[in-house]
Structure 1
Protein backbone atom coordinates (compact mmCIF):
# COMPACT_ATOMS: atom_id res chain seq x y z
CA UNK A 1 0.00 0.00 0.00
CA UNK A 2 1.28 3.46 -0.84
CA UNK A 3 0.28 6.90 0.37
CA UNK A 4 -2.92 7.77 -1.47
CA UNK A 5 -4.11 11.32 -0.98
CA UNK A 6 -4.58 14.14 -3.48
CA UNK A 7 -3.02 16.98 -1.48
CA UNK A 8 0.51 16.25 -0.27
CA UNK A 9 -0.14 17.77 3.14
CA UNK A 10 -1.18 16.37 6.50
CA UNK A 11 -3.18 18.73 8.71
CA UNK A 12 -1.81 18.28 12.24
CA UNK A 13 -4.36 19.65 14.71
CA UNK A 14 -2.39 19.35 17.96
CA UNK A 15 -4.31 20.48 21.01
CA UNK A 16 -7.73 20.50 19.40
CA UNK A 17 -10.67 19.84 21.72
CA UNK A 18 -13.88 17.94 20.99
CA UNK A 19 -15.79 21.25 20.90
CA UNK A 20 -13.50 22.61 18.16
CA UNK A 21 -12.80 19.40 16.25
CA UNK A 22 -15.65 19.17 13.76
CA UNK A 23 -15.55 22.83 12.76
CA UNK A 24 -11.78 22.92 12.24
CA UNK A 25 -11.57 19.56 10.49
CA UNK A 26 -14.42 20.63 8.22
CA UNK A 27 -12.51 23.80 7.41
CA UNK A 28 -9.26 22.02 6.52
CA UNK A 29 -11.13 19.47 4.40
CA UNK A 30 -12.99 22.29 2.63
CA UNK A 31 -9.56 23.88 2.00
CA UNK A 32 -8.45 20.70 0.21
CA UNK A 33 -6.71 18.64 2.88
CA UNK A 34 -7.48 14.94 2.66
CA UNK A 35 -5.27 13.73 5.53
CA UNK A 36 -5.92 14.88 9.10
CA UNK A 37 -3.93 13.95 12.20
CA UNK A 38 -5.17 14.44 15.76
CA UNK A 39 -2.20 13.90 18.10
CA UNK A 40 -2.91 11.77 21.16
CA UNK A 41 -1.53 14.48 23.42
CA UNK A 42 -4.56 16.61 22.50
CA UNK A 43 -7.25 17.06 25.16
CA UNK A 44 -9.96 14.40 25.08
CA UNK A 45 -8.77 12.87 21.82
CA UNK A 46 -10.89 9.83 22.72
CA UNK A 47 -13.94 11.98 21.97
CA UNK A 48 -12.57 14.02 19.07
CA UNK A 49 -11.28 11.21 16.89
CA UNK A 50 -14.46 9.08 16.68
CA UNK A 51 -16.56 12.20 16.03
CA UNK A 52 -14.21 13.24 13.21
CA UNK A 53 -14.16 9.72 11.74
CA UNK A 54 -17.97 9.62 11.78
CA UNK A 55 -18.31 13.05 10.18
CA UNK A 56 -15.41 13.01 7.69
CA UNK A 57 -14.02 9.48 7.41
CA UNK A 58 -15.45 9.12 3.93
CA UNK A 59 -13.87 12.40 2.75
CA UNK A 60 -10.36 12.21 4.21
CA UNK A 61 -7.76 9.95 5.73
CA UNK A 62 -8.46 10.53 9.44
CA UNK A 63 -5.84 9.50 11.91
CA UNK A 64 -3.96 9.90 15.11
CA UNK A 65 -0.48 11.18 15.81
CA UNK A 66 1.93 10.74 18.70
CA UNK A 67 0.91 7.08 18.83
CA UNK A 68 3.43 5.42 21.13
CA UNK A 69 1.99 2.05 22.22
CA UNK A 70 0.49 -0.96 20.46
CA UNK A 71 -2.52 -0.81 22.78
CA UNK A 72 -3.30 2.68 21.47
CA UNK A 73 -3.47 1.23 17.96
CA UNK A 74 -6.13 -1.23 19.14
CA UNK A 75 -8.25 1.60 20.53
CA UNK A 76 -7.78 3.71 17.40
CA UNK A 77 -8.74 0.81 15.14
CA UNK A 78 -12.01 0.41 17.05
CA UNK A 79 -12.63 4.14 16.52
CA UNK A 80 -12.23 3.74 12.77
CA UNK A 81 -8.89 5.55 12.41
CA UNK A 82 -7.26 5.08 9.03
CA UNK A 83 -3.88 6.73 9.67
CA UNK A 84 -1.28 6.21 12.39
CA UNK A 85 1.56 8.72 12.76
CA UNK A 86 4.30 8.21 15.33
CA UNK A 87 7.19 10.40 16.49
CA UNK A 88 9.46 7.35 16.62
CA UNK A 89 10.01 3.82 15.34
CA UNK A 90 8.14 1.18 17.34
CA UNK A 91 7.98 -1.95 15.21
CA UNK A 92 5.02 -3.46 17.06
CA UNK A 93 2.98 -0.26 16.68
CA UNK A 94 3.69 -0.35 12.94
CA UNK A 95 2.92 -4.06 12.54
CA UNK A 96 -0.28 -3.84 14.54
CA UNK A 97 -1.55 -0.84 12.59
CA UNK A 98 -0.72 -2.51 9.27
CA UNK A 99 -2.57 -5.59 10.51
CA UNK A 100 -5.67 -3.44 10.93
CA UNK A 101 -5.26 -2.11 7.38
CA UNK A 102 -4.22 1.36 8.52
CA UNK A 103 -1.76 3.63 6.73
CA UNK A 104 1.31 4.09 8.93
CA UNK A 105 3.71 7.03 8.79
CA UNK A 106 6.32 6.67 11.56
CA UNK A 107 8.79 9.34 12.50
CA UNK A 108 12.45 8.71 11.82
CA UNK A 109 15.68 10.61 11.42
CA UNK A 110 18.25 8.16 10.05
CA UNK A 111 18.50 5.60 7.28
CA UNK A 112 18.66 2.84 9.91
CA UNK A 113 15.41 4.02 11.47
CA UNK A 114 13.79 4.42 8.06
CA UNK A 115 14.64 0.87 6.99
CA UNK A 116 13.56 -0.52 10.38
CA UNK A 117 10.17 1.15 9.86
CA UNK A 118 9.88 -0.12 6.29
CA UNK A 119 10.81 -3.65 7.38
CA UNK A 120 7.96 -3.48 9.93
CA UNK A 121 5.52 -2.52 7.16
CA UNK A 122 5.37 1.29 7.19
CA UNK A 123 3.98 2.71 3.94
CA UNK A 124 5.33 6.25 4.40
CA UNK A 125 7.96 7.98 6.53
CA UNK A 126 7.91 11.18 8.54
CA UNK A 127 11.30 12.87 8.88
CA UNK A 128 11.11 14.51 12.27
CA UNK A 129 12.13 17.10 13.22
CA UNK A 130 12.81 18.11 9.64
CA UNK A 131 14.04 21.59 10.47
CA UNK A 132 16.94 20.07 12.43
CA UNK A 133 18.17 18.31 9.29
CA UNK A 134 17.17 20.51 6.37
CA UNK A 135 16.08 19.72 2.81
CA UNK A 136 19.55 18.59 1.67
CA UNK A 137 19.56 15.87 4.34
CA UNK A 138 16.22 14.58 3.09
CA UNK A 139 17.52 14.62 -0.48
CA UNK A 140 20.48 12.47 0.59
CA UNK A 141 18.25 10.11 2.59
CA UNK A 142 15.83 9.73 -0.32
CA UNK A 143 18.74 8.56 -2.49
CA UNK A 144 18.94 5.29 -0.51
CA UNK A 145 15.23 4.71 0.12
CA UNK A 146 12.92 2.75 -2.19
CA UNK A 147 11.66 5.28 -4.76
CA UNK A 148 7.98 4.51 -4.12
CA UNK A 149 8.12 5.37 -0.40
CA UNK A 150 6.47 8.67 0.43
CA UNK A 151 8.60 10.83 2.72
CA UNK A 152 7.00 13.69 4.63
CA UNK A 153 8.82 16.58 6.27
CA UNK A 154 7.37 17.43 9.68
CA UNK A 155 8.61 19.97 12.19
CA UNK A 156 9.50 23.44 11.01
CA UNK A 157 7.67 23.24 7.69
CA UNK A 158 5.84 26.44 6.82
CA UNK A 159 3.91 27.63 3.78
CA UNK A 160 6.94 29.79 2.96
CA UNK A 161 9.48 26.94 2.91
CA UNK A 162 7.28 24.06 1.74
CA UNK A 163 8.65 24.21 -1.83
CA UNK A 164 12.19 23.54 -0.55
CA UNK A 165 11.03 20.28 1.03
CA UNK A 166 9.14 19.21 -2.08
CA UNK A 167 12.16 20.06 -4.25
CA UNK A 168 14.29 17.86 -1.95
CA UNK A 169 12.09 14.88 -2.77
CA UNK A 170 9.43 14.92 -0.09
CA UNK A 171 6.03 13.64 -1.17
CA UNK A 172 4.56 16.21 1.18
CA UNK A 173 4.65 17.67 4.65
CA UNK A 174 2.82 17.86 7.91
CA UNK A 175 1.59 21.33 8.77
CA UNK A 176 0.97 21.92 12.43
CA UNK A 177 1.30 25.21 14.26
CA UNK A 178 1.22 27.25 11.04
CA UNK A 179 -2.18 25.70 10.34
CA UNK A 180 -3.75 25.37 13.79
CA UNK A 181 -2.89 26.44 17.33
CA UNK A 182 -4.81 25.22 20.35
CA UNK A 183 -7.63 27.55 21.27
CA UNK A 184 -7.67 29.59 18.07
Structure 2
Protein backbone atom coordinates (compact mmCIF):
# COMPACT_ATOMS: atom_id res chain seq x y z
CA UNK A 1 0.00 0.00 0.00
CA UNK A 2 1.52 3.29 -1.11
CA UNK A 3 0.52 5.58 1.73
CA UNK A 4 3.12 7.55 3.71
CA UNK A 5 2.06 8.83 7.13
CA UNK A 6 3.55 12.27 7.81
CA UNK A 7 3.77 12.80 11.58
CA UNK A 8 4.57 16.50 11.81
CA UNK A 9 4.73 17.58 15.46
CA UNK A 10 5.11 14.05 16.84
CA UNK A 11 6.92 13.82 20.19
CA UNK A 12 9.19 10.94 21.24
CA UNK A 13 6.90 10.08 24.16
CA UNK A 14 4.03 9.21 21.81
CA UNK A 15 6.01 7.84 18.88
CA UNK A 16 5.62 4.13 19.61
CA UNK A 17 1.89 4.30 20.37
CA UNK A 18 1.17 6.33 17.23
CA UNK A 19 3.41 4.04 15.20
CA UNK A 20 1.54 0.98 16.49
CA UNK A 21 -1.77 2.53 15.44
CA UNK A 22 -0.46 3.16 11.93
CA UNK A 23 1.22 -0.19 11.40
CA UNK A 24 -1.84 -1.93 12.82
CA UNK A 25 -3.97 -0.22 10.18
CA UNK A 26 -1.63 -1.33 7.39
CA UNK A 27 0.48 1.80 6.89
CA UNK A 28 4.01 0.71 6.00
CA UNK A 29 5.79 4.03 5.40
CA UNK A 30 6.15 6.53 8.23
CA UNK A 31 8.03 9.82 8.23
CA UNK A 32 8.71 12.22 11.08
CA UNK A 33 9.50 15.71 9.73
CA UNK A 34 12.77 17.16 10.97
CA UNK A 35 10.99 20.27 12.26
CA UNK A 36 9.12 18.16 14.83
CA UNK A 37 10.19 18.10 18.52
CA UNK A 38 13.32 15.92 18.92
CA UNK A 39 12.65 14.18 15.60
CA UNK A 40 15.68 11.88 15.69
CA UNK A 41 14.53 10.42 19.01
CA UNK A 42 11.09 9.67 17.57
CA UNK A 43 12.59 8.21 14.39
CA UNK A 44 14.95 6.00 16.39
CA UNK A 45 12.11 4.72 18.59
CA UNK A 46 9.95 3.96 15.56
CA UNK A 47 12.83 2.24 13.79
CA UNK A 48 13.61 -0.01 16.76
CA UNK A 49 9.98 -1.02 17.22
CA UNK A 50 8.66 -1.16 13.66
CA UNK A 51 11.66 -1.11 11.32
CA UNK A 52 11.12 -4.75 10.41
CA UNK A 53 7.54 -4.06 9.28
CA UNK A 54 7.61 -0.50 7.93
CA UNK A 55 9.95 1.92 6.18
CA UNK A 56 10.73 4.54 8.82
CA UNK A 57 12.38 7.84 8.06
CA UNK A 58 12.47 11.59 8.15
CA UNK A 59 10.61 14.31 6.30
CA UNK A 60 11.56 17.93 5.63
CA UNK A 61 15.17 16.80 5.18
CA UNK A 62 17.05 19.79 3.79
CA UNK A 63 20.76 19.06 4.26
CA UNK A 64 23.33 16.33 3.79
CA UNK A 65 24.11 16.57 7.52
CA UNK A 66 20.49 15.70 8.33
CA UNK A 67 20.68 12.68 6.03
CA UNK A 68 23.66 11.41 8.03
CA UNK A 69 21.86 12.01 11.33
CA UNK A 70 18.85 10.03 10.16
CA UNK A 71 21.06 7.23 8.86
CA UNK A 72 22.56 6.84 12.33
CA UNK A 73 19.12 5.89 13.68
CA UNK A 74 18.93 2.97 11.26
CA UNK A 75 15.95 4.52 9.45
CA UNK A 76 15.99 4.23 5.67
CA UNK A 77 13.60 6.80 4.22
CA UNK A 78 14.49 10.41 3.36
CA UNK A 79 11.69 12.72 2.24
CA UNK A 80 12.28 16.36 1.27
CA UNK A 81 10.01 19.25 0.30
CA UNK A 82 12.49 20.28 -2.39
CA UNK A 83 14.81 18.87 -5.02
CA UNK A 84 18.32 19.07 -3.57
CA UNK A 85 20.55 16.78 -5.62
CA UNK A 86 23.18 16.64 -2.87
CA UNK A 87 20.59 15.34 -0.39
CA UNK A 88 19.40 12.76 -2.93
CA UNK A 89 22.92 11.55 -3.66
CA UNK A 90 23.85 11.41 0.02
CA UNK A 91 20.74 9.35 0.73
CA UNK A 92 21.58 6.86 -2.00
CA UNK A 93 25.24 6.66 -0.94
CA UNK A 94 24.03 5.62 2.53
CA UNK A 95 21.65 3.02 1.10
CA UNK A 96 18.48 4.96 1.89
CA UNK A 97 15.36 5.65 -0.14
CA UNK A 98 15.08 9.21 -1.45
CA UNK A 99 11.70 10.90 -2.04
CA UNK A 100 12.49 14.52 -3.03
CA UNK A 101 9.82 17.15 -3.53
CA UNK A 102 9.21 18.39 -7.06
CA UNK A 103 6.68 20.70 -8.67
CA UNK A 104 7.96 21.02 -12.24
CA UNK A 105 9.31 18.67 -14.92
CA UNK A 106 12.70 20.38 -14.58
CA UNK A 107 12.89 19.49 -10.89
CA UNK A 108 11.55 16.01 -11.56
CA UNK A 109 14.23 15.19 -14.13
CA UNK A 110 16.97 16.64 -11.91
CA UNK A 111 15.77 14.40 -9.08
CA UNK A 112 15.64 11.35 -11.33
CA UNK A 113 19.14 12.03 -12.66
CA UNK A 114 20.43 12.28 -9.07
CA UNK A 115 19.00 8.84 -8.24
CA UNK A 116 15.64 9.52 -6.55
CA UNK A 117 13.58 6.43 -5.80
CA UNK A 118 10.26 8.27 -6.06
CA UNK A 119 9.04 11.82 -6.59
CA UNK A 120 6.97 13.73 -4.05
CA UNK A 121 4.61 16.04 -5.93
CA UNK A 122 4.39 18.99 -3.58
CA UNK A 123 2.30 20.96 -2.96
CA UNK A 124 -0.20 18.55 -4.45
CA UNK A 125 -3.17 20.86 -4.10
CA UNK A 126 -1.48 23.35 -6.45
CA UNK A 127 -0.38 20.76 -9.01
CA UNK A 128 -3.64 18.82 -8.92
CA UNK A 129 -4.49 15.70 -10.92
CA UNK A 130 -4.48 17.74 -14.15
CA UNK A 131 -0.91 18.90 -13.54
CA UNK A 132 0.14 15.39 -12.57
CA UNK A 133 -1.33 13.96 -15.77
CA UNK A 134 0.68 16.45 -17.84
CA UNK A 135 3.92 15.64 -16.01
CA UNK A 136 3.26 11.91 -16.23
CA UNK A 137 3.22 12.20 -20.02
CA UNK A 138 6.91 13.13 -20.12
CA UNK A 139 8.36 11.33 -17.08
CA UNK A 140 9.65 7.74 -17.16
CA UNK A 141 6.56 5.51 -16.87
CA UNK A 142 8.04 3.45 -14.04
CA UNK A 143 8.94 6.46 -11.85
CA UNK A 144 6.79 6.40 -8.69
CA UNK A 145 4.89 9.64 -8.05
CA UNK A 146 3.47 10.47 -4.62
CA UNK A 147 1.02 13.36 -4.28
CA UNK A 148 1.38 15.26 -1.01
CA UNK A 149 -0.97 18.05 0.05
CA UNK A 150 -4.65 18.29 -0.72
CA UNK A 151 -5.20 14.53 -0.91
CA UNK A 152 -8.43 13.31 0.70
CA UNK A 153 -10.38 10.04 0.63
CA UNK A 154 -12.83 11.78 -1.71
CA UNK A 155 -10.24 12.63 -4.39
CA UNK A 156 -7.87 9.65 -4.19
CA UNK A 157 -9.49 8.03 -7.22
CA UNK A 158 -8.94 11.19 -9.29
CA UNK A 159 -5.26 11.27 -8.35
CA UNK A 160 -4.80 7.58 -9.12
CA UNK A 161 -6.53 7.97 -12.48
CA UNK A 162 -4.10 10.80 -13.29
CA UNK A 163 -1.12 8.55 -12.58
CA UNK A 164 -0.30 8.93 -8.89
CA UNK A 165 1.48 5.92 -7.39
CA UNK A 166 0.62 6.85 -3.82
CA UNK A 167 0.13 9.62 -1.31
CA UNK A 168 1.79 11.33 1.61
CA UNK A 169 -0.86 12.04 4.25
CA UNK A 170 -0.25 14.62 6.96
CA UNK A 171 -2.96 16.31 9.00
CA UNK A 172 -5.60 13.90 7.68
CA UNK A 173 -3.86 11.10 9.56
CA UNK A 174 -2.12 12.85 12.49
CA UNK A 175 -2.29 16.21 14.20
CA UNK A 176 -0.36 17.06 17.38
CA UNK A 177 -2.46 16.01 20.33
CA UNK A 178 -4.25 13.16 18.52
CA UNK A 179 -4.45 10.00 20.61
CA UNK A 180 -3.36 6.65 19.21
CA UNK A 181 -7.04 5.68 19.02
CA UNK A 182 -7.88 8.75 16.93
CA UNK A 183 -4.93 8.08 14.62
CA UNK A 184 -5.95 4.44 14.25
CA UNK A 185 -9.43 5.51 13.18
CA UNK A 186 -8.09 8.01 10.65
CA UNK A 187 -5.58 5.49 9.30
CA UNK A 188 -8.21 2.79 8.89
CA UNK A 189 -10.47 5.21 7.00
CA UNK A 190 -7.63 6.22 4.68
CA UNK A 191 -6.65 2.61 4.04
CA UNK A 192 -10.27 1.83 3.20
CA UNK A 193 -10.41 4.84 0.86
CA UNK A 194 -7.19 3.66 -0.82
CA UNK A 195 -8.65 0.19 -1.32
CA UNK A 196 -11.89 1.57 -2.73
CA UNK A 197 -10.05 3.92 -5.08
CA UNK A 198 -8.07 1.14 -6.75
Match of 1:122 among 116, 122, 125: 116
The residue aligned with 1:86 is 80
1:31 Cα shift?
0.3
- Would you identify which runs of 4 or more consecutive aligned residues in structure 1 move more than 2 Å? none
- What is the TM-score normalised by the length of structure 1? 0.95
1:79 partner SS:
coil
Where does the alignment leave 5 or more consecutive residues of structure 2 unmatched? Answer: 179-198
The residue aligned with 1:152 is 146
Q: Is residue 90 of structure 2 the alignment partner of residue 96 of structure 1?
A: yes
The residue aligned with 1:138 is 132
Q: Deviations over 1:59-79 (max 9, x none)?
A: 001010000000000111111
Distance in 1 (alpha carbons) for counterparts of 2:6 and 2:158? 20
The residue aligned with 1:14 is 8
Structural RMSD (CA): 0.7
1:115 Cα shift?
0.4
Distance in 2 (alpha carbons) for counterparts of 1:13 and 1:169? 25
Question: How many residues get paired?
Answer: 178
Distance in 1 (alpha carbons) for counterparts of 2:86 and 2:127? 27
Distance in 1 (alpha carbons) for counterparts of 2:24 and 2:155? 23
1:19 Cα shift?
1.1
Distance in 2 (alpha carbons) for counterparts of 1:163 and 1:182? 28
Deviating more after overlay: 146-155 vs 156-165? 156-165
Match of 1:35 among 29, 37, 47: 29
What does 1:157-172 align with in structure 2 at a 5 Å threshold? 157-172=151-166
Distance in 1 (alpha carbons) for counterparts of 2:61 and 2:111? 14
The residue aligned with 2:48 is 54
1:133 Cα shift?
1.6
Distance in 2 (alpha carbons) for counterparts of 1:37 and 1:17? 13
1:183 Cα shift?
1.2
Q: Deviations over 1:2-27 (max 9, x none)?
A: xxxxx111011111101111101111
Distance in 2 (alpha carbons) for counterparts of 1:175 and 1:160? 13
Higher helix share: 2
